[in-house]
Structure 1
Amino acid sequence: MLEPTASQIQIRDHTARDLLVIAPAGCGKTEALALRVQGLLQRHDIVAPQKVLVVTFSNRARDNIRERLRSYLGTGQLRNYVSVVNFHGLSARIFKAHANVIGLSPDLAIPESDWVSTECRRRNFDFPVANRVKDALRVAKQEMRTDAEVEEFLSTNREMAALQLERDRIDSERLTYDDLPRVAELILAVEPVAELYRSHFGAVIVDEFQDLTPQQLRIVHRIGYGRTTYGGDLAQGIYGFAGANPATIHVVIREECSEVVEFAESHRSSPAVLGAVNSLIPLTSGTELTSADPASWPHGGLFAIASFSTAEVEAERVAKLANRIAGQAPGHRIAIMARTVPRRRFVEAALSEVGVEFLRWDDGVLDTDTARVIRAMLSKFDVDGYNAATDKVEYLRLASGLKTIADAATRESVVDALGWCYEQLREGARGHALADPSR
């Protein structure tokens, strides 16, 4: 465990429960937020039966901060005093527990994939129509509207394709990803329910505040206004397509929080890389960064730019470079980042060509909670029952207990991982061997 920096200690020891932490990538934000929770518990600001609510935007971020929290708190204290969820998971929990207060059934299907996109493809919508449908539904549902009000909004704006899709969703008794925060906000508008959550969570931590939509911020405010620590960096906003508005959110949070702590030392990047990043500040409005330990980077590190005639040529060069680095540093991991999924596929093909094994960071089977579900299923897997099943995919869904998983992101990851299991079993792997990677 690294020695906390002065800024991290300041965050840990800040006594007021409202705090804004501005921390560019690699500056120790996750560590600081974990220390923040440690400080709240050590000072007995949060005592049983209250908990600290930690909210992230993805399963990866959730797993990352959970591991940091475990290192500072231990498994028992983490389990008893902290709830770590992503926004869709939080919304799904609120819906499952209190759907009846807004006249909905808690048995409505929780999303396990992007149903709207799937339906647009099934109905053969061309790209402009599909985008308009998805945008219309997102805009309609990012305000606190009931099902009837969503339909009225779509009808008034003459979004007829989106309206038909919405009616089909209601008829099929399901929720989409856009519905989850909408119904959670409707539920939290019921004061006794909101008071229940305010009483249960004595403090809230939001990781990557710049990715909040106004709707998500309203949900946070209903649970922990004035008792929330926000961590993030305006230059890292990536959810504009989903309705995030970093500048507006930043203004509102600044008004809420009594103190702001800014990080400017990077623990992740070399001085050369930081020089390149700093050169983009006029475009990103980011913070100028310095290296926390420049002496640890031989010759100040390395930064280079290369341009290529085609995506295939670029991918080939990336794959060869990765292969060469892996040969010289076999104990290290190499990260390759692509701007889009299609661009990533070029790199994957090139890596396969040179014989380099790789994992996709977003593969569901790599998610911690998903891996736990899959391992439990495979450890007692009935191979004979699976082989005799007419619908083997449905057999896997039932065996995994998919229907009992409320968290939408975890459901999606489990579905993805079940696809991996299906392919492995089809190729002759045994359930127990899949559950134990050492076999």
Structure 2
Amino acid sequence: MIQPTASQLAIRNSTARDLLVIAPAGCGKTEALALRIQGLLQRGDIVAPQKILVTTFSNRARDNIRERLQDYLPSGTLRDRVTITNFHGLAARLFKAHANVIGLDPAMTIPDGDWVGAQCRAKGFDFSTSAAVQTTLRIAKQEPRTDDEILTYLSAPGREAALTIERQRVSEGRLTYDDLPRLAELILANDLVADLYQAHFGSVIVDEFQDLTPQQLRIVNRIGYKNTTYAGDLAQGIYGFAGAKPVAIDAAVRAECTEVIEFSESHRSSPAVLAMVNAMSPLTAGTPLTAADPASWPGGGLAASVGHHTADAEGDWVTRVAQALVSRVPQQRIGVIARTLGRRRFVESALKAAKVPFFRWDDGVLDTETARTLKSLLARFDVRGYEAAADKMAFLRDAAGFESVSEPSGRESLLDALHWCHDLLRSGVAAGDIRSRIQIGDAATLITAPGVHLLTGHVGKGQQFDWVVIVGLEDGVIPDFRATSSDEKIEEARVLSVMLSRARHGVIVSRAVSVPTNAGRPMDRKPSSFLTSLATANPRKAEELVEWFNSADWAAIAVR
């Protein structure tokens, strides 16, 4: 178990029921929240049968905090006294239990993917129309409107396409991701329901509070106003596209909380990595960080910036770096991160060509709970039943108990994993061989597995890797070409800062002069404007990397 810091102990021991924790990346936030939960329970602040509600924004973050809590709480206490869920899972729980309060059927279909996007494609909408439909529906549903009020809102001129999609949703009796928090807020407007949840959850913990939408904050307040611990950092607010309002949420939370505890020391990253993160602070408004124990990092760690003629050359170079790291430090984790999936594809192709194993974080089968479900299914797989089934996907869904899964992101991950399984079975791979390919779900989780990991900046938030390579530092990629306003460009700077701060020992940022379009046409790219800021951290150049990896500093890291 890690020895807690003074700040972490202060969070554990605080008797304030409304606490704000300002925790920049790598400062030990997850550890602090685990200690906070332990303190609330051990002091008797939360008395059985009351529970603590912990809200996260992803299954990965959920796994992260659950793993830390296993070090501080007996398994029975963790199971019986703590509920860990993401916001859509909480909203789905509210809907399933109390839909009748707002006159809806709790048996309505819970989302398991981007249904709105699928309908837009089915109707032949072009990109701009589809994007407008998605945005219009999201905005409409971030207020506590009933279904009838949504239809009235969408009846205004210019919203015809969105109205068509919404009418179809209602007629099919299904919900989308945007519907869940809307309906949860409507349900919690009922005082009897709100009182029930306030009595059930004696305290609420919100991880990454800066990513809350105003709607999500209203939901939290109905369950735990003045009884909530918020943890996060304004400089890591990267979900404005989904309706998050970091500045407004920060102000509201500060007005609610009577005690604030701030971190400024990083227990994750080397001084070299922190220099890169701090170089972005003028753009992100982040707190400048120092290493808690700078002498523990041989040579101060590594920060480097490299350029390539083409994206394919970049992919080959990153693959060679990954191979070198895996061969020298096989128990360490290497994160290859890009702003978008499309920009990452060149590294993925190069890794496949070199037969380098890797974890792709957007694979549903890498979700811990999904992997366990799929392993169980394959261990008792009914081959004859599958072969005789007219609808083999329906057979797999039934065998996996798909309809019993109510948490939306869990449904999406499981459905994705079942399609993967179906494709392999159809190509003749035996069930046992498919099971052996699943390396997650028993003692190992994606957040602890060594090796090469491919992900995007948003997906990797809250995680850490020993080494990080960020590809695609080009104008139009990061900052994204759609970021035109000042606020949008600031958020892009925060996305890059989040990617940089995933690294422990070292971080390398990479760019290419020529990057093919999706159609394969070469396109010249200018360097990202953010490279000017990063240059103030004096990152090493490509030719210096070989020297560094041959140095005594690298040798010291390799044996840590």
What is the TM-score with the length of structure 1 in the denominator? 0.97
Moved more, 238-247 or 368-377: 368-377
The answer as to whether partners of 2:151 and 2:166 remain within 8 angstroms in 1 is: yes
Counterpart-to-counterpart distance in 2, 1:296 and 1:59? 32
Q: Which residue of 2 aligns with 1:342?
A: 342
SS of structure 1 residue aligned to 2:143: coil
Q: Who is 1:391 aligned against?
A: 391
Could you tell me which residue of structure 1 aligns to residue 238 of structure 2?
Answer: 238
Match of 2:294 in 1: 294
| Cα displacement (A) at 1:204 | 0.2
Report if the CA contact (8 A) 1:380-1:432 is conserved: no
Q: Residue 264 of structure 1: CA displacement? A: 1.2
For residues 263-278 of structure 1, the aligned pairs below 5 Å read 263-278=263-278
Does residue 320 of structure 1 match 2:320?
A: yes
Q: Following the alignment from structure 2 to structure 1, what is the Cα–Cα distance between the partners of residues 216 and 330?
A: 42
Aligned-residue offset at 1:322:
0.9
The aligned counterpart of 2:415 is: 415
Following TM superposition, by how much is the alpha carbon of 1:230 offset from its aligned partner in structure 2, in angstroms? 0.6
1:398, distance to aligned residue in structure 2 (A) = 1.1
Report if aligned partners of 2:371, 2:438 keep a CA contact under 8 Å in 1.
no
Shift, 1:155, TM fit? 1.0
Aligned residue for 2:169?
A: 169
Q: 1:329 deviation in Å?
A: 1.6
Match of 2:212 in 1: 212
How many Å apart are 1:409 and its aligned residue? 0.6
Confirm whether residue 60 of structure 1 aligns to residue 57 of structure 2. no
Counterpart-to-counterpart distance in 2, 1:64 and 1:365: 17
- Contact 2:112–2:409 (CA under 8 A) maintained in structure 1: yes
* Partner residue, 2:379: 379
Note the C-alpha offset of 1:423: 2.5
The structure whose residues are more often strand, as a share, is 2
Q: Is the 8 A contact 1:24 1:264 kept in 2?
A: yes
Counterparts of 2:308 and 2:365, CA distance in 1: 34
User: C-alpha displacement at 1:236, in angstroms?
Assistant: 1.3
Return the offset for 1:362: 2.9
Kindly provide the CA deviation profile for residues 179-225 of structure 1, in whole angstroms up to 9, marking residues without a partner as x.
Answer: 00000000000110010000000000000111100000000000000
Decide whether aligned partners of structure 1 residues 437 and 125 sit closer, same or farther in structure 2, where only a CA change above 3 A counts: closer
Partner Cα distance (2:128, 2:96) in 1: 35
1:15 equivalent in structure 2: 15
1:309 partner SS: strand
- Structure 2 residue runs of 5 or longer lacking an equivalent are 440-560
1:113 corresponds to 2:85: no
Contact 1:377 1:399 in 2 (8 A): yes
Is 1:260 the counterpart of 2:260? The answer is yes
| SS class of match (2:229) | strand
State the match for 1:194 in structure 2: 194
Where does residue 41 of structure 2 map in the other structure?
Answer: 41
Structure 1 residue 282: deviation in Å?
0.7
- AA in 1 matched with 2:202: G
The answer to whether the 8 Å contact 1:54/1:85 transfers is: yes
1-structure distance, mates of 2:398, 2:379:
15
Write the distance in 1 (CA, Å) between the matches of 2:67 and 2:161. 44
- Could you tell me how far apart the structure 2 residues matched to 1:438 and 1:95 are? 33
Structure 1 residue 432 displacement after superposition: 4.3
| Range that drifts further, 377-386 or 246-255 | 377-386
Tell me the amino acid that sits aligned with residue 208 of structure 2: E
Trace 1:31-110 onto structure 2 (pairs within 5 A).
31-110=31-110
* SS of residue paired to 1:2: coil
Question: What is the CA–CA distance in structure 1 between the aligned matches of 2:134 and 2:438, rounded to whole Å?
Answer: 44
Shift in CA distance, 35/397, structure 1 to aligned 2, threshold 3 Å = same
Work out the CA distance in 1 between the residues paired with 2:368 and 2:395. Answer: 22
| 1:249-306 deviation line (CA, Å, top 9, x unaligned) | 0000000011111111112211011112111111010111011121221111110111
Shift of 1:235: 1.3
Q: Deviations over 1:218-242 (max 9, x none)?
A: 0000000000001111111221110
Deviation, 1:315, is 1.9
Rounded Cα–Cα distance in structure 1 between residues aligned with 2:325 and 2:376: 36
The match for 2:284 is 284
| Alignment-mate amino acid for residue 245 of structure 2 | N
CA distance in 1, matches of 2:231, 2:363: 26
Structure 1 partner of 2:331: 331
Compare 82-91 and 383-392 and name the one that shifted more. Answer: 383-392
CA RMSD of aligned residues (A): 1.4
Residues 26, 268 of structure 2: 8 Å contact kept: yes
Look up the equivalent residue of 1:4 and give its one-letter code.
Answer: P
Deviation at 1:436, TM superposition (A): 5.5
Q: CA deviation at 1:162?
A: 0.2
Q: Which residue does the alignment assign to 1:426?
A: 426
1:366 deviates by: 1.5
- Provide the C-alpha distance between the structure 1 equivalents of 2:42 and 2:362, rounded to a whole number of angstroms: 35
Distance 1:427 1:31 in 2: 44
| Kept after mapping to 1: 8 A contact 2:234/2:286 | yes
- CA contact 2:365–2:438 (8 Å) conserved in 1: no
2:415 partner amino acid: V
Matching residue's letter, 1:64: N
Is the alpha carbon distance of 1:438 and 1:135 closer, same or farther for their aligned partners in structure 2, counting shifts above 3 Å? Answer: closer
Per the TM alignment, residue 157 of structure 1 is displaced from its structure 2 partner at its CA by 5.0
* Bigger shift: residues 414-423 or 55-64: 414-423
**What amino acid does structure 1 have at the position aligned with 2:12?**
R
More displaced stretch, 105-114 vs 381-390: 381-390
TM superposition shift of 1:437:
5.8
Q: How many residues align?
A: 439
TM-score by length of 2: 0.77
Q: Secondary structure at the match of 1:230?
A: strand
CA distance in 2, matches of 1:424, 1:267: 42
Q: 181-190 or 381-390: which moved more?
A: 381-390
1:383 and 1:430 in contact (8 A); partners too:
no
Q: Tell me, yes or no, if the aligned pair for 1:271 and 1:294 is still in contact at 8 Å.
A: yes
The answer as to whether partners of 2:375 and 2:438 remain within 8 angstroms in 1 is no
Please, which runs of 5 or more residues in structure 1 have no aligned partner?
Answer: none
> Using a 3 Å threshold, how does the CA distance of structure 1 residues 199 and 102 change in structure 2: closer, same or farther?
same
Give the CA deviation at 1:426.
2.6
Q: Is the 8 A contact 1:363 1:417 kept in 2?
A: yes
User: For 1:245 and 1:315, how far apart are their aligned partners in 2?
Assistant: 36
| Amino acid across the alignment from 1:143 | E
